[in-house]
Structure 1
């Protein structure tokens, strides 16, 4: 009709689960996930990076590119990508070698654990929800305390000595987890929006 040629190998369907822009879309379960081949490649690169103390610029860029793509379905992943980006050197040669600092290796380990065990899926937005049913506000300071406020309920706590040297990303996540543990029973079937400043 339009004079466009079709590539038969790119056609798929009709189906309730297809790959679009290299993301698997499951319309029955309302889930998005990385296709198996992408996931396997990502896990291989993560395992290879985890076993190294030094990595080439080319390998690091390949890994961060895959992780950035995975962030489309692994939403919290962006927080664990920044230190890897910070290691990339502007204007360096692809074979330039970069030392993987302990914090960057910890982020690689987070990705390995999260992507392997969290099932690589995220729920599609439910069109019935136009606004949040419940707002939860959480905050954490680097050296003093953390807390949360939800409706008329709230809590705060001081950091135990063993958590004081912990990274800010983890400290910001702790009040979220505690809020879910304390208030989560009343959240079933509702849209919860967290306000977190990290």
Structure 2
């Protein structure tokens, strides 16, 4: 009988460094049985809406995510069954026809701004992390990323941050910090915290005889 995989939830605001933390943990176990699932892949399918309506999507609100599908996929992986992970197309603001085949692994990292918001998701996690970074650093990182990687104008990024990202963070993301087992300040730059997490995960895997 196969053992139940270990699930690590990594939450935090946009630009907090949660992806860097998740990747650092992932690469620490490179060569072992590990996979990463990004909550961003599980935005709701909006093909039933006209394009003009899709443009109004608030991607920082809990209702933007198809948590029912994410939870069902996570349960399949926990039962050691493969899944077909959806792909979201930001150009058309809905799910694409493409899917990604994902095989079950011993360690599953679930990363996203609101992975700690849904109690059903939290109940599937063995370790819950919240990456906590000051708002001024988060907006600077978001500015750099959106201008460099997404070709956006500075004014547009700032307007979105002030009108959507910041209020959604304060209302929905920041409060989930209370559910975290461990709070990691400064994200991927906090090597001590990441090393401690890797050691803890190794201990759990050894107890389950995965390592």
What is the TM-score of this pair, normalised by structure 1?
0.22
Quick check: which one's helix share is greater? 2
Which protein has greater RCO, CA pairs closer than 8 Å, 6+ apart? 2
- Which protein is bigger by CA-based radius of gyration? 1
